[in-house]
Chains A and B, each alone.
Chain A
Amino acid sequence: MQMTMKGAGFLGIAMAVVGLALPGMATAQNVTGAGATFQFPLQSKWSSEYGKANPGVRVNYQSIGSGGGIRQITARTVQFGATDGPMTDAQLAEAKDPILHVPVTLGAVAVAVNLPEVTSALNLTGPVVADIFLGKITKWNDPAIAATNKGLVLPDRAITVAHRSDGSGTTFIFVDYLAKVSPEWKDKVGVATSVNWPAGLGAKGNEGVAGTVKQTPGSIGYVELTYALQNGIPTARMQNPTGEFVAPSVDAVTKAAAAASANLPEDLRVSITNAPGAGAYPIAGFSWVLVYRDQSDCTVASALLKYLWWGVHAGQAFATPLHYAPLPAGVVSRCEAKLKSVTCNGAPVL
């Protein structure tokens, strides 16, 4: 008898514990994403801010690189992927089920220059930068550079080109721009997260390129805009299609996206480099998250979609303090349509 009482009491306590724990566990929903390192500071800020407002959801973002993000979403090991370069048709075909591209922020690339003899910012055109990175322009006093920098005395100094050695979304945006302004670049080198560089030195990461440029007089390189702004790296003003020379800034990047948002393609896989429009900075691009259009687990899908919806709306407020360019209104409305098109077992999630 005593034994039974004891047993019943134990069972009761056990049931109470399980009863208390289960509702708590059910609300703690994990959402896992992986991909572009570029998005990482923004995603981790979003994750902590969103977690404060929605204690039941924990978003975990692994910055493993765009290529890794595409591989992980294709293998369905994460709920969302992230990339700085859109998936190719071949990659989309490999994933079998339709994957949506949702822009969440904008990236831009600044051209860093170390020319001790010149203290003001250089004005550079796209074709000139392409020829420098092709190894065709090798001296700073080349007539092509002098043509857009009247009044500056350019030295007879050899140009040292510095580029990223690791695969990178920054490289993708930069070479995508060069391919648009230089047919020779498009034919000879092409566009990818890492390419067969015709000239120069490779350095690892933004910090590697910035370090090489800083240390090597006469060098030119490219770094992520965020990195250049945070570290006060001297940058060149780039000519946009309207003929203006624009210094890289968060504002000028959002202007480029706004100019491009008028004719975005249906799938939002679009390059906005060399965008026309007053004040638009030409070397900029979207950074996307990747989600499957047809979800199977509706609890997860709901948490994921609410998080992304929050990201493209309230989340944009956290972009500027981190030196990310916020999405222009025209793009946000396109994101809304994309997110609303996601379904779970046939029914819309949002």
Chain B
Amino acid sequence: MPSRPKSSRVDTAFHATLVLAGLGVATVLAGVAWEVLSLSGEALSKGGIGFLTGTTWDPVTEEFGALPALYGTLLTSAVALVIAVPLGIGSAVFLSEIATSRVATVVGVLVDLLAAIPSVIYGLWGLFVLAPLLREHVQPAVQAVFGDFPLFAGTPLGVGYGTAGLLLAIMVIPVITSVSREVLRAVPETQREAATALGATRFEVIRGTVLPYARRGLVGAVVLGLGRALGETMAVTMVIGNRYDISASLFAPGYTLAAVIANEFSEAFSPHYLSALAGLAVVLLGTTLILNAGARLLVRGVATGGARKNGDRHRFSRKSVSVPISVPSSDPGKEAPDGRP
């Protein structure tokens, strides 16, 4: 179409570029998945389900099972999220709702700086500062309180699942904080004003209006953090103890999928060994996909389930406003006598 106006041709070119970029991302993902799957074919077909449930990793006899590494990946990520979600979202709420704008700017820049530190730096810090601190002071104290409780059993080594989880939490917090802060900033001011006008306290405004309105984005922030925790390699391998074992104790050394691959890939001498390492990559890829999909379903469930209660599928803003009203009434002991005629 030679007679098309120039702006239209630019539009077409722009459109084509964007489509190419989009397809490029999909192609790279498909390529990675294909390569890893084909490389791992031997180990997966030889091991079958046993590859997933096996607990031995023996390069000498070529017996490979992924369970201890999968367990370590899930446990360290869970520990990280348990610590990082309240702290990360809490600090984001502080930055967007409570802090003065000057404080918010300064702290915000610091948080972004934390997110930009390379993971090997975190790992070195974990190995030389965090691990000795935990071994000398924290772990003995915890054991003195809890005695033989299995979660904290074993010799205090300083390294292990708990240390790795704690370090991951420190690495994940800035990610969660910085994304959550942006999400909270996007909550319309009218929502807050409406809740305040209905007599909600600041806590009630945040709990009843701001957080529910932002929950989709907040779950997104947590998923991003989880992604970083699952795939983190260098920092984790430096503090987890690299022991191919399953233990209930957070003080015990363990291993993660990404750490095994990083440690052993360069010296993997036989095709079957290489294939088993690629098999671990498949397990990691699968875990990430399942957890991501799960998180998405969870968000959808939270959004529609919450809205349905109010008989409105599409606008959960109505429900958001309704919560502050229900909060005072649910706590009649203090507020009801004063607040009601």
Q: Which residues of A contact B (CB under 8 A)?
A: 64-68, 70, 85, 88, 90-91, 158, 160, 165-168, 189-197, 200-204, 208, 211-212, 215-216
Contacts and interface: CB of A to CB of B under 8 A. Distances in A.
Interface stretch (B26-34, B36-44, B54-62): B54-62
A203 B242 contact: yes
A66 B269 CA distance: 8
A195 B263 contact: no
Which one of B57, B58, B132, B259 has the greatest number of beta carbons of chain A within 10 Å? B58
Interface stretch (B1-9, B79-87, B102-110, B154-162): B154-162
B59 to A, nearest CB: 5
Majority SS of interface residues in chain A? loop
A196 B59 contact: yes
B243 interface: yes
A68 B267 contact: yes
B267 A66 contact: yes
A166 B243 contact: no
B211 interface: no
A179 to B, nearest CB: 10
Contacts of A91: 269-270
B244 A201 contact: no
A38 to B, nearest CB: 11
B339 to A, nearest CB: 59
Contact of A64 (B155, B242, B253, B266): B266
Interface string B222-235: 00000000000000
Contact of A197 (B132, B243, B268): B243
A269 to B, nearest CB: 14
Interface in B220-262: 237-238, 241-244, 253, 255, 259, 262
Interface in B139-178: 155, 157-159
Contacts of A189: 60
Contact of B237 (A65, A90, A204): A204
A67 B157 contact: no
B243 A194 contact: no
Interface residues of B, number: 32
A66 B270 CA distance: 12
B255 to A, nearest CB: 8
Given A201-B243, A208-B238, A165 B263 contact: yes
Contacts of B269: 66-67, 70, 85, 88, 91, 167, 192-193
Given A208-B238, A215-B131, A192 B263 contact: no
Interface of B: 56-61, 127-128, 131-132, 135, 155, 157-159, 237-238, 241-244, 253, 255, 259, 262-264, 266-270
B270 to A, nearest CB: 8
B238 A204 contact: yes
Nearest to B62: A192
A202 B263 contact: yes
Contact of A68 (B155, B255, B266): B266
Contacts of A70: 269
Nearest to A204: B237
Given A193-B267, A201-B241, A211 B127 contact: yes
A34 B157 CA distance: 37
Given A190-B61, A195-B60, A204 B242 contact: yes
6 contacts: A91-B269, A166-B263, A195-B58, A201-B242, A203-B238, A216-B135
B253 A201 contact: yes
Nearest first, the 3 A-B pairs at minimum CB distance are A167-B267, A202-B242, A65-B266
B60 A211 contact: no
A90 B62 CA distance: 14
B242 A195 contact: no
A167 B268 contact: yes
Contact of B60 (A65, A166, A192, A212): A192
A202 B160 CA distance: 11
A194 B60 CA distance: 8
Contact of A165 (B127, B157, B237, B266): B237
A160 B266 contact: no
A202 B266 contact: no
Contacts of B60: 189-192, 195-196
Contacts of B58: 195-196
A192 B267 CA distance: 10
Nearest to A163: B242
Contacts of B135: 216
Given A195-B58, A204-B238, A166 B264 contact: yes
Contacts of A208: 127, 238
Nearest to A196: B58
Contacts of B59: 167, 192-196
B158 A216 contact: yes
B291 to A, nearest CB: 25
Contacts of A158: 155
A341 to B, nearest CB: 26
A261 to B, nearest CB: 26
Nearest to B273: A67
B249 to A, nearest CB: 14
B153 to A, nearest CB: 14
Most buried by A among B132, B237, B263, B269: B269
A327 to B, nearest CB: 24
Contacts of B264: 166-167, 194
A310 B241 CA distance: 43
A212 B132 CA distance: 10
Contacts of B56: 196
B183 to A, nearest CB: 37
A212 B159 CA distance: 10
A90 B56 CA distance: 23
B262 to A, nearest CB: 8
Given A196-B56, A200-B243, A216 B267 contact: no
A208 B263 CA distance: 12
